[in-house]
Amino acid sequence: MTPIIALVVFTAAVIGGGMYLAALARAKRIAAERLSLPDVDERVQPAVRHRIFARRHYVLPWIVAAAVAVILIVLVGLPSIYAVAFAVIVGLLGGQVDSMLLARKQDRIEVQLADAIDLIVSALGVGATLQSALENALRDMRAPLRPELEDVVVRWRYGDEPAQVLGALAHRVPLETFRLFATSLAVNHEVGGSLVQTLASVGRTIRNRIEITRRLRALTMQGRISVAAILIVTYGLAAIMWRNEPDRMAGFLLSTVGQWLVAIAMVLQGLGIVWIAALCRPKF
């Protein structure tokens, strides 16, 4: 397989995979909207769709992977099958890095929400209005939560419907914790009741959720370390074999059978990393 044909095949696979992932994400979003509770949707449905505060970048890692393949083939002169294998690993690992960054940002905004709820509850407990309590919590918040709360406070101050404002917040931050927070405020605005007790319960629920997530990640860390150790041992054995028998290793790596076997092993390693990461990701 010539480098040009390999590059064309890989580029087509990247484009096709990106289109498939985009269609899958759209189908999941539509399914989630259709499975939403009717009474909640009527109360917190946003009037205007806003952009989500953080989302996955499904195509970007594979664009970087295609660039890596071109560099390895054209500039380095690596065999095309090795370049494609490296590019697949780069794409898979890039997707995992993007997922980790998204999870870290989501964790940070959930912790900030729990802190903001504590401030709101304290302000409401001394007789402040909900709008004043939100403004008080906004002064002590930073990004990424501050822009979201600021939008709520500004739109509320200008007279927008509270249910629509809170619905827009739940849409911009599509997390269960924000959905619970927005729904609690919207329902309380419609029917009244003790908002202090409701928000205190919501805050405890969010903190319990954060604690469970952290415990699950700590328990699954052993599996991730085991995968990393196996990969290190594999490449360490390859380096030892190269040092002891460089001629045989060079002949094996340059042969057609050896190239295919090594490339398949590299791709399977990348898929294994993605599989272990999916198994270790907390879902509740």
Q: How confident is the model at residue 30 (pLDDT cuts 50, 70, 90)?
A: low
pLDDT reading at 48 higher than 80: no
pLDDT reading at 41 higher than 50: no
What integer pLDDT is reported at residue 140 of this predicted model?
A: 82
Q: How confident is the model at residue 40 (pLDDT cuts 50, 70, 90)?
A: very low
Token pair in block for residue 166: 């809170």
Check residues 231 and 19 and name the one with the higher pLDDT.
231
| 192, amino acid identity | G
Residue ranges of domains in the chain = 3-280
The 10s digit of each residue's pLDDT in 64-111 is 998 998 898 888 888 888 888 889 999 988 888 898 899 889 899 999
Rg (CA), the chain: 25
Q: Which long-range contacts (CB under 8 A, 24 or more apart) does 270-275 make?
A: 270/88, 270/89, 270/92, 270/93, 271/92, 272/227, 273/92, 273/93, 273/96, 273/227, 273/231, 274/92, 274/95, 274/96
pLDDT reading at 44 higher than 50: no
The 10s digit of each residue's pLDDT in 211-238 is 888 888 888 777 778 878 888 888 888 8
Indicate the pTM of the whole model. 0.72
For the chain, the average pLDDT equals 81
What integer pLDDT is reported at residue 109 of this predicted model?
A: 92
What integer pLDDT is reported at residue 23 of this predicted model?
A: 66
Nearest of 193, 140, 142, 166 to residue 41 by alpha carbon: 166
| 142, amino acid identity | R
